[in-house]
């Protein structure tokens, strides 16, 4: 496998330093998320302002990005998060990651702040910092089109921010294509704080393969096996929209800011089949045979002319279930609005839900908002979206995400579910100890994709569970037995998957028969010519996740007291639905933490022991004077 370069970009001086990616970094961390975490851990400390010029914005391709693999177009974007104040990491699909690899780059490390808006133009080894004042104010799609026209290159790939990033909305996204988002945690706000409107890349280099014939034969056999599975076929038809059905029927889709009641039969209006009347066909990210994304157009009604890609499950949760609006066309419209503005759909929906609950509870009033806020009201949602992106009135407060609590009445705190100051997402976990543990210990605070134990909801026979995880696991998702082992296993798998540049949805996150460490080991051998056994890969996954944990410790949020869940999950039982009356048992949760820490080689306070750090060989990277 070709060893590419790292570009260190100094915006203050408009200077670029390019170096070969150290081979030992790849051997220890693979790439993408792994190397990004290593770089961030080595470059930051607790004094840094996430919106300050010193915060490094890091783009990283995977070790096997752009090679034959399981959705091998992925890219990680990493920085200190302006939304939660600690680790920010966003995994993004589409075509941009592969194009960066074709230009010969494994990573971009951007620091400083330009005195005027700029965009970064990359053509193979040539990196230019260009004036972007004429692009400031454009939405993400207009920006991409304008840069391609300006450079007379339709094949150029562009990652851009919209008005949300420019206005430093703390959960602004970086967008590429119509829908691909470096979402959650505010990477778009970091880019906006640096006055970088976009990064455009065009690469024409080859990606070297160690054993091309053998790789293609193995890949073909694995893809045939993958596409024969029912879950893959379902994803090819409806993508992550499939998750909506089980979430609605299990009563785990958050409605009315986790206060319910669940939509039940009304929720069927948001089921995946509803996309069929608007769909123009399916598309895919680079290197993917699943094709899980819809291209759609709304031709009639109040949202006529809406044209985009998606939506994903998170959009249905944010603008359908949470505000209690069972209108599929409305969700499609909100999807396009957020993508163009560069707003994260999940966190926008959560903050709007918070505002409605506060209004309904009398904690804020018309004097704070200027209008009534109602559940089930489309104008409420759209007016708040506009206010957030332009930081107008209450929207200016909501644009600060969890930091909005510093500007709202004290009672608001109990109405926003946070873990390590990050919004926990669109699925409740009060009835499921494993899911609760996953939210608490995830290095990416509260994020379900770091260690999501979705297999627990699939009614898989116990013997299959035991064979996957290597020990006895109670398959009942309401049981805590074995769940610490499950969470650790998924953490290691996802860390490896992310660092190879593969799609998590084509991993055992979703099916017991999907690719795992064994398949990844074989692909690394054939593509990169590296001997990575299953135990070796699991060790790399552990090193990546532990490095992120050490980074959290460096930032003051990496111990047991920080692995805390929203208090209402313990004290307020699920009010409605299939799990009505369920709440987390605090003693059970604390026992799970003990089990998990022991498995990870951490002390009783959740801090990696010196022996564990030494065993994994974790040290800070020698970055040198590249920023001087």
pLDDT in tens, 9-18: 999 999 999 9
Residue 1 has pLDDT above 90, yes or no: no
The average pLDDT across 237-248 equals: 84
pLDDT band, residue 130 (cuts 50/70/90): very high
Rg (CA), the chain: 23
167 contacts 389 by C-beta, under 8 angstroms: yes
Identify the pLDDT of residue 350: 95
Q: Which ranges of 158-303 would DSSP assign to H, the alpha helix?
A: 163-166, 187-193, 212-227, 230-238, 243-250
Edge-to-edge strands, sheet with 118-123: 126-131, 118-123, 196-202, 157-160, 174-176, 180-182
Coil/strand/helix, residue 3: coil
pLDDT digits (tens, 9 = 90+) for 593-610: 999 999 999 999 999 999
What's the mean pLDDT when you consider all of the chain? 93
Q: What does the block give as tokens for 380?
A: 């409420």
The predicted-structure confidence for 307-327, as pLDDT tens digits, reads as follows 999 999 899 999 999 999 999
Q: Which residue has the higher pLDDT, 249 or 72?
A: 72
Q: Which helix (H) or strand (E) holds 314?
A: helix 313-316
Nearest to 511 by CA among 462, 581, 464, 447: 464
Q: Which of 510, 520, 486, 452 is nearest to 230 (CA)?
A: 510
Measured from the Cβ of residue 412, the count of other Cβ atoms closer than 10 Å reads 20
Dump pLDDT digits (tens) for 353-394: 999 999 999 999 999 999 999 999 999 999 999 999 999 999
CATH of domain 5-202: 3.60.9.10
Asked if pLDDT for residue 412 goes beyond 90, the answer is yes
Is residue 2 predicted with pLDDT exceeding 60? no
pLDDT of residue 366: 93
Q: Kindly indicate the confidence band of residue 440, based on its pLDDT and cuts at 50, 70 and 90.
A: very high
Percent of the chain at pLDDT above 70? 97
Cα atoms in the Cβ-side hemisphere of radius 13 Å centred on 311: 33
Report how far residue 210's alpha carbon sits from residue 143's, in angstroms, rounded to the nearest whole number: 38
Question: Of the ranges 251-265, 454-468, 476-490, which is most confident?
Answer: 476-490
Pinpoint the residues of the chain covered by CATH 1.10.599.10. 422-616
Output 16-24 pairs: Cβ under 8 A, ≥24 positions apart.
16/127, 16/129, 17/626, 18/125, 18/127, 21/106, 21/107
CATH 3.60.9.10 range(s) for the chain read 5-202
Q: Name the band, by pLDDT with cuts 50, 70 and 90, for residue 572.
A: confident
CA nearest to 458, candidates 273, 234, 275? 234
The position carrying tokens 């010519």 is: 529
254/435: higher pLDDT: 435
Model pTM?
0.96
3-state percent breakdown (helix, strand, coil) of the chain, nearest 5: 45, 15, 40
Lowest mean pLDDT among 193-202, 566-575, 613-622: 566-575
Q: Do 54 and 109 contact (CB within 8 A), yes or no?
A: no
- Could you please state the CATH topology (level 3) that the domain comprising 240-417 is classified under: 1.10.569
Task: Give 488-540 pLDDT, tens digit per residue.
Answer: 999 999 999 999 999 998 998 878 889 999 999 999 999 999 999 999 999 99
Q: Assess contact for 481 and 473: CB atoms under 8 A.
A: yes
Contacts of 463 (CB under 8 A, 6+ apart): none
- What confidence category does residue 428 fall into, taking pLDDT thresholds of 50, 70 and 90? low
Instruction: Check residue 501 and give its pLDDT.
Output: 97
pLDDT of residue 627 exceeding 80, the answer is no
Report the pLDDT value the prediction gives residue 568, as an integer from 0 to 100: 85
Q: Does 626 have pLDDT greater than 80? A: no
pLDDT band at 427 (very low <50, low <70, confident <90, very high): low
Task: Encode 249-288 in three state secondary structure.
Answer: HHCCECCCCCCCCCCHHHHHHHCHHHHHHCEEEEECCCCC
Compute the distance between CA of residue 465 and CA of residue 460 in angstroms, rounded to an integer.
7
In this prediction, residue 251 carries a pLDDT of 66
pLDDT in tens, 156-199: 999 999 999 999 999 999 999 999 999 999 999 999 999 999 99
pLDDT at residue 296, as a whole number: 96
Q: Is the pLDDT of residue 579 over 90?
A: no
Q: Does the structure show a pLDDT above 70 at 288?
A: yes
Q: What is the pLDDT of residue 390?
A: 97
Provide the CATH number for the domain formed by 422-616 in this structure: 1.10.599.10
- CB count within 10 Å of CB 372 equals 13
The predicted pLDDT at position 457 comes to 77
pLDDT recorded at residue 10: 96
Question: Which pLDDT value is given to residue 425?
Answer: 64
Residue 581 binned pLDDT confidence (cut-offs 50, 70, 90):
confident
How does pLDDT run across 37-67, given as a tens digit for each residue? Answer: 999 999 999 999 999 999 999 999 999 999 9
Q: Per-residue pLDDT for 249 more than 90?
A: no
């Amino acid at each position: 496998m070709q060893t590419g370069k790292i570009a260190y970009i100094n915006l203050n001086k408009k200077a670029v330093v390019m170096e070969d990616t150290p081979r030992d970094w790849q051997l220890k961390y693979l790439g993408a998320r792994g190397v990004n975490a290593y770089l961030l851990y080595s470059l930051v400390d607790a004094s840094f302002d996430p919106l300050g010029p010193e915060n490094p914005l890091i783009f990283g391709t995977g070790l096997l990005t752009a090679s034959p693999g399981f959705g091998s177009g992925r890219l990680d974007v990493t920085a200190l998060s302006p939304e939660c104040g600690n680790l920010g990491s966003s995994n993004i699909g589409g075509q941009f990651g592969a194009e960066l690899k074709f230009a010969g780059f494994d990573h971009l490390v951007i620091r400083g702040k330009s005195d005027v808006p700029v965009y970064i133009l990359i053509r193979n080894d040539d990196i230019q910092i260009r004036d972007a004042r004429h692009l400031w104010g454009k939405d993400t799609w207009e920006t991409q089109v304008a840069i391609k026209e300006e450079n007379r290159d339709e094949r150029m790939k562009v990652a851009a921010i919209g008005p949300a990033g420019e206005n430093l909305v703390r959960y602004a996204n970086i967008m590429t294509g119509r829908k691909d988002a470096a979402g959650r945690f505010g990477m778009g706000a970091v880019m906006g704080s640096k006055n970088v409107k976009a990064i455009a890349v065009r690469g024409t280099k080859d990606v070297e393969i160690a054993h091309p014939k053998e790789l293609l034969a193995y890949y073909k056999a694995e893809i045939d096996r993958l596409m024969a599975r029912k879950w893959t076929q379902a994803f090819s038809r409806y993508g992550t929209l499939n998750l909506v059905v089980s979430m609605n029927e299990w009563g785990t889709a958050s409605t009315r800011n986790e206060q319910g009641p669940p939509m039940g039969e009304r929720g069927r209006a948001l089921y995946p089949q509803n996309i069929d009347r608007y769909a123009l066909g399916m598309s895919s990210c680079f290197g993917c045979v699943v094709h899980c994304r819809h291209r759609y157009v709304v031709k009639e009604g109040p949202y006529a002319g809406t044209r985009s890609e998606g939506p994903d499950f998170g959009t249905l949760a944010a603008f359908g279930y949470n505000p209690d609006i069972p209108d599929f066309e409305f969700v499609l419209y909100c999807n396009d609005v957020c993508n163009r503005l560069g707003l994260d759909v999940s966190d926008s929906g959560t903050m709007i839900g918070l505002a409605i609950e506060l209004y309904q509870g009398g904690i804020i009033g018309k004097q704070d908002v200027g209008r009534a806020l109602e559940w089930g009201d489309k104008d409420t949602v759209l007016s708040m979206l506009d206010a957030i992106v332009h930081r107008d009135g209450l929207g200016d407060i909501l644009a600060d995400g969890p930091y909005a609590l510093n500007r709202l009445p004290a009672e608001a705190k109990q109405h926003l579910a946070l873990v390590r100051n990050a919004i926990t997402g669109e699925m409740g976990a009060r009835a499921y100890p494993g899911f609760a543990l996953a939210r608490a210990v995830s290095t990416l605070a509260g994020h379900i994709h770091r260690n999501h134990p979705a297999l627990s909801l699939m009614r898989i026979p116990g013997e299959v569970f035991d064979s996957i995880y290597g020990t006895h696991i109670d398959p009942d998702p309401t049981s805590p037995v074995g769940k610490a082992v499950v969470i650790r296993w998924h953490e290691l798998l996802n860390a490896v998957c992310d660092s190879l540049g593969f799609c998590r949805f084509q991993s055992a996150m979703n099916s017991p028969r999907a690719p795992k460490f064994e398949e990844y080991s074989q692909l690394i051998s054939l593509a990169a010519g590296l001997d990575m056994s299953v135990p070796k890969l699991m060790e790399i996954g552990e090193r990546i996740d532990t490095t992120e944990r050490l980074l959290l410790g460096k930032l003051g949020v990496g111990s047991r007291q920080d692995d805390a869940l929203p208090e209402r999950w313990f004290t307020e039982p699920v009010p409605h639905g299939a799990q009505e009356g369920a709440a987390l048992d605090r003693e059970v949760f604390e026992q799970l933490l003990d089990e998990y820490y022991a498995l990870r080689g951490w002390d009783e306070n959740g801090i990696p022991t010196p022996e564990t750090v030494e065993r994994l060989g974790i040290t800070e990277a020698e970055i040198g004077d590249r920023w001087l």
